[in-house]
Structures are given as structure tokens and as C-alpha cells.
């Protein structure tokens, strides 16, 4: 098993993702976004639904408007991280479309016009509340196809950074998806995942290995997240160390939730 890759897309190109579904990759490439945020265009009865407007970018907005002819029926938000919603105000102003998102937004910058809860239907898609990467994360499922957003991606593991991110919730949401029988995931970054169950299992095992290593390290004595990163993440680029520390902290909080670790004066110990 390994991660998925794809060639850098032509900027502004409209890519076929599935029947009735197109993808435009926003011009915000980076270490956490791959080639950029995927904005999906989903044909529905009222025109075209836009899933995740992406970053605030005039070029990206122009590409969305050209591909939809401005006939945007609704704007759906998978979660409220900036790389997914910063472009929303401009898209909403240009189209007048109503916004859909999880009922409890994790940011004061966004309140959905139509609040979605677990199991709600939007344009024939069923919302799956899948917190972990973000506290307000939704996937959307229909007929074996799932918009997995940043919960499960092919190109990388998901960032889980407390307090908005929760490793306990991430594990639960990952196991939930593994309990389904989906054919394909269309993620928030990178190409489609065509072996959802195998890839999800790969991601889960990756996290379990990390969790086991952290628990084993704690058993040798009290540790801080930064000490654990130095001990466990070999060959880590210095620029990635802060993100690794957030991930280790997320694991430690899960171990605390599981009753096997505790925080004592800024230092984590086995309990
Ligand atoms: Zn993202």
C-alpha cells in the first residue's frame, strides 16, 4: 500500500471526476494542500452545486463561474478550514446561492444558510458527520460514491490538530467509513481513491502503529510532545516539526481518552 499521486493539473482546468461531477483544483498548492483544494461541481436539478469553494482567489472564482455559467444551485461546505471556505463570500456574492454546512460551524466566519446534521439529505447526497480532522467535518455519500473531503484522502494522511481536531473522533470516523461499502472517494485534495476500504485500512494501521509507538515511548518515562517527535519521527524536515507535534499531541489526547496516558505538569506519562 502507498499513497496516491497525480500530475499537477493545468491551472483552471475542469476535470471529469465522475458522471455529472467535475473538479477544479484551486491555485493553492502546498505541503498540506497537495496541488490545491478540490472544488467539485455537481449537476443537480437546479443547476450546479458547488462543494467547497476553496481559497479566496479571483482566478479560481472565474474558473467556477465559467464552468457553471453562474448557475450555481447551492454551495456546500465539507468543513470550515480556510482553504475550503475563504472563497465562499465572493462565490455567494456572485451567484446568490444558499450555503449548506454542518449545523455547528467551527468558525465565526461561516454560518450555513441551511444547517446540516448527520443523515440529512442535500441534492440526493447524504451527509455523514465525520469529525476528527475538523470538528464540523461532513462527508457526502450517494450510490457508493463519497465526497470524503479531508477526512480520507489518497495523497496523504489527514492533519489532526487539537483542539479543533480530535484523534479520538478521527479514529471513530475512520472506522465508521471502513464499515461502509463504498466504491470511490472523491477527496478534498488530490485524486480519487478507488480502493476505499484498502486505503482506509492502510491509514488506520498507520495511525495505530504511531499510537503504539507513542504508548511504548511513554512506558519508558514521562515525555513532552516535542521529545516524542524527536524520538519517533526519523528524518523529519524541521519545517514539519510543528505539525508533527500537533499530531503527537492528538495521539496523546486519545491515549488519555482511552485511559492509558495522563498529562502531569506539562509532561505526559503512562497511567
Ligand atoms: Zn483542506
**What's the CA-to-centroid distance between 265 and ligand 1, angstroms?**
34
Q: Could you count the other beta carbons within 10 Å of the beta carbon of residue 113? A: 12
| % of the chain exceeding 90 in pLDDT | 95
**What's the CA-to-centroid distance between 248 and ligand 1, angstroms?**
20
**What's the CA-to-centroid distance between 19 and ligand 1, angstroms?**
23
Give per-residue pLDDT as tens, 10-33: 999 999 999 999 999 999 999 999
**What's the CA-to-centroid distance between 76 and ligand 1, angstroms?**
14
Sequence-ordered list of residues with C-beta below 8 angstroms from that of 125, at least 6 positions apart, any chain: 42, 140, 141, 142, 147
**What's the CA-to-centroid distance between 36 and ligand 1, angstroms?**
8
**What's the CA-to-centroid distance between 229 and ligand 1, angstroms?**
24
CA atoms within 13 A on the CB side of 260: 13
**What's the CA-to-centroid distance between 84 and ligand 1, angstroms?**
6
Give CA–CA dist 228/224, Å, rounded.
6
Q: Across the chain, what does the average pLDDT equal? A: 96
- Grid cell, residue 233, equals 519521527
Which segments of the chain belong to CATH 1.10.10? 212-270
**What's the CA-to-centroid distance between 199 and ligand 1, angstroms?**
19
**What's the CA-to-centroid distance between 85 and ligand 1, angstroms?**
9
Which segments of the chain belong to CATH 3.60.15.10? 15-194
Report every protein residue that has its C-beta within 5 angstroms of ion ligand 1.
Answer: 83, 150, 188
Residue 248's nearest CA partner among 269, 264, 224 is 224
**What's the CA-to-centroid distance between 51 and ligand 1, angstroms?**
12
Tell me which H or E stretch contains 249.
helix 241-257
Residue 27's nearest CA partner among 13, 16, 15, 40 is 13
Give CA–CA dist 268/253, Å, rounded.
10
pLDDT at 164 over 80: yes
The pLDDT value given to residue 46: 85
CATH fold label, 15-194 = Metallo-beta-lactamase; Chain A (3.60.15)
Give per-residue pLDDT as tens, 236-267: 999 889 999 999 999 999 999 999 999 998 89
The pLDDT value given to residue 45: 87
pLDDT at 1 over 80: no
Give CA–CA dist 174/200, Å, rounded.
7
Give per-residue pLDDT as tens, 212-237: 999 999 999 999 999 999 999 988 99
- CATH number for the domain running over 212-270: 1.10.10
Please give the model's pTM, rounded to 2 decimal places: 0.96
**What's the CA-to-centroid distance between 155 and ligand 1, angstroms?**
12
**What's the CA-to-centroid distance between 55 and ligand 1, angstroms?**
10
Give per-residue pLDDT as tens, 22-61: 999 999 999 999 999 999 999 998 899 999 999 999 999 9
Amino acid at each position: 500500500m502507498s499513497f496516491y499521486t497525480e500530475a499537477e493539473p493545468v491551472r483552471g482546468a475542469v476535470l471529469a471526476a465522475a458522471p455529472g461531477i467535475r473538479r477544479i483544483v484551486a491555485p493553492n498548492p502546498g505541503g498540506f494542500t497537495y496541488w490545491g483544494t478540490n472544488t467539485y461541481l455537481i449537476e443537480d436539478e437546479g443547476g450546479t452545486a458547488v462543494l467547497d469553494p476553496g481559497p479566496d482567489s479571483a482566478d479560481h472564482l472565474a474558473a467556477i463561474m465559467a464552468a457553471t455559467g453562474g448557475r450555481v444551485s447551492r454551495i456546500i461546505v465539507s468543513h470550515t478550514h480556510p482553504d475550503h471556505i475563504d472563497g465562499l463570500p465572493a462565490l455567494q456574492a456572485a451567484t446568490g446561492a444558499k450555503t449548506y454546512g454542518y449545523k455547528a460551524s467551527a468558525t465565526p466566519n461561516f454560518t450555513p444558510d441551511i444547517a446540516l446534521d448527520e443523515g440529512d439529505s442535500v441534492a440526493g447526497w447524504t451527509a455523514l458527520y465525520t469529525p476528527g480532522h475538523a470538528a464540523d467535518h461532513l462527508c457526502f455519500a450517494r450510490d457508493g460514491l463519497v465526497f470524503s473531503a479531508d477526512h480520507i484522502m489518497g495523497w496523504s494522511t489527514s492533519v489532526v490538530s487539537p483542539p479543533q481536531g480530535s484523534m479520538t473522533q478521527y479514529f471513530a470516523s475512520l472506522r465508521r467509513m471502513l464499515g461502509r461499502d463504498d466504491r470511490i472517494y472523491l477527496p478534498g485534495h488530490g485524486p480519487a481513491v478507488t480502493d476505499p476500504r484498502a486505503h482506509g485500512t492502510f491509514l488506520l494501521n498507520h495511525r495505530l502503529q504511531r499510537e503504539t509507538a507513542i504508548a511504548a515511548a511513554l512506558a519508558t518515562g514521562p515525555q513532552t510532545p516535542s521529545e516524542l517527535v524527536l524520538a519517533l519521527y526519523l528524518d523529519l524536515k524541521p519545517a514539519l516539526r510543528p505539525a508533527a507535534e500537533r499530531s503527537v499531541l492528538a495521539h496523546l489526547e486519545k491515549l488519555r481518552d482511552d485511559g492509558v496516558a495522563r498529562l502531569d505538569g506539562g509532561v505526559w506519562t503512562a497511567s
